[in-house]
Amino acid sequence: MSAVVPWLLYALLAAACVVGLLVNILGLPGIWLIPLATIVYALLPWTGVTIGAWPILAIIAIGVVAELAEFLAGAAGSAKAGGSKRGMLGAIVGGIVGAIGGQIVIPIPLLGAIIGAFVGSFIGSYVIEFAWVRRTHADSLRIGVGAVKGRVIGVAIKTFCGAVMTIVALVAGWP
């Protein structure tokens, strides 16, 4: 076996971690690519590295904390602005649809999806609060802005946690 193979596999692990972080910014569960890639890397016999259970469990635990923090931050942003649970759901669905639509409308890799996710969160929350919950226009606007603020904070926390997960994976997997 060539001495290059472990480093190539390590580069693939690093690339998977970076992709996971970028997908996370879109509001999708990309950080779960990090533990998945780490587990696959740990199981490959050609890496020349033994990754124990503790780093993998730490990565998974950080991922769970990140998901919980993102959810709570998003909920707190909407709730702080007076939003309903339906409005929060509208923000989540709107964010996903907005990320897809934003990438189509603004075909710059990731930028369109990021902008679309935030715009979609606002629109989803606003429309549900205004049309379904029957809030006033001003209240719906305030709640929509709160949903976006919460989403931004949640994504930032989750991205930070994903970066920590990446560091743990790359340190544990160093050939």
Q: pLDDT per residue over 13-53, tens digit each?
A: 999 999 999 888 776 778 999 999 999 999 998 877 889 89
Residue 95 Cα to chain centre, angstroms: 12
Give the per-residue pLDDT at 30. Answer: 86
Amino acid letter for position 93: V
Instruction: Give 130's pLDDT tier (boundaries 50, 70, 90).
Output: very high
Residue with the bigger pLDDT between 20 and 93: it is: 20
C-alpha torsion sign, points 96, 121, 29, 84: negative
Give the per-residue pLDDT at 1. Answer: 59
Alpha carbon distance 146, 36 (integer Å): 33
For residues 99-118, one letter each, b for 16 or more C-beta atoms within 10 angstroms of the residue's C-beta and e for the rest, the string is bebbbeeeeeeeebbbbbbb
Place of tokens 């999806």: 113
Give the per-residue pLDDT at 49. Answer: 83
Collapsing DSSP to helix, strand or coil, 135 comes out as coil
**What is this structure's pTM?**
0.79
24 contacts 155 by C-beta, under 8 angstroms:
yes
Cβ–Cβ contacts within 10 Å for residue 119, how many? 18
Give the whole-number percent of the chain exceeding pLDDT 90. Answer: 50
